[in-house]
Structure 1
Amino acid sequence: MQTIFVQFKCRPGRAYEVADRLVQEVEEISEVYSTSGHYDLIAKFYLADDQDIGHFVTERLQTADGIADTFTTVAFKAFGQG
């Protein structure tokens, strides 16, 4: 399983609509948060090991209505309690 975080810059006034649509339509999504700063949203996705990250982001996320820009971070290892 591959974990990626994608930050989204949305068209003005569209962030909540984009967040709702991501949750409803993208099965690989784990969670999405509204944020402040350069980007409006950040979402966590789990992709299959054989799934191409570049194709997923450019074809499934960047083309969605209301999205102006994205910034993708690939995660290597999760740290936490337990």
Structure 2
Amino acid sequence: MSSPTWGGVVAGTASTPSETVPLAALVCDGPRVTWRQSVTRPIRLHLDFDVVVAGEILTGHSRAGRLPRTNVTGTRRTSREG
């Protein structure tokens, strides 16, 4: 996930080897970050994410409609790590 700020507006994308999708409804409220994204591969899903960022680590969950929520973890990477 990448999320640069342009003029106070946070925007970003999420990438996998097969696609890059924009993040929608991206909100940063202190350490808490929420967003929505749609993916088409391997199947079409609309996902909602709710995570907390602590230093270089994020933890939280995602949810796809009525499916059970899934735990999410990640680490910050620089733009050079692509």
Normalised to the residue count of structure 1, the TM-score between the two structures is 0.31
Higher share of residues assigned helix = 1
- Which of the pair has the greater relative contact order for Cα pairs under 8 Å at 6+ separation? 1
Normalised to the residue count of structure 2, the TM-score between the two structures is 0.31
Higher share of residues assigned strand = 2
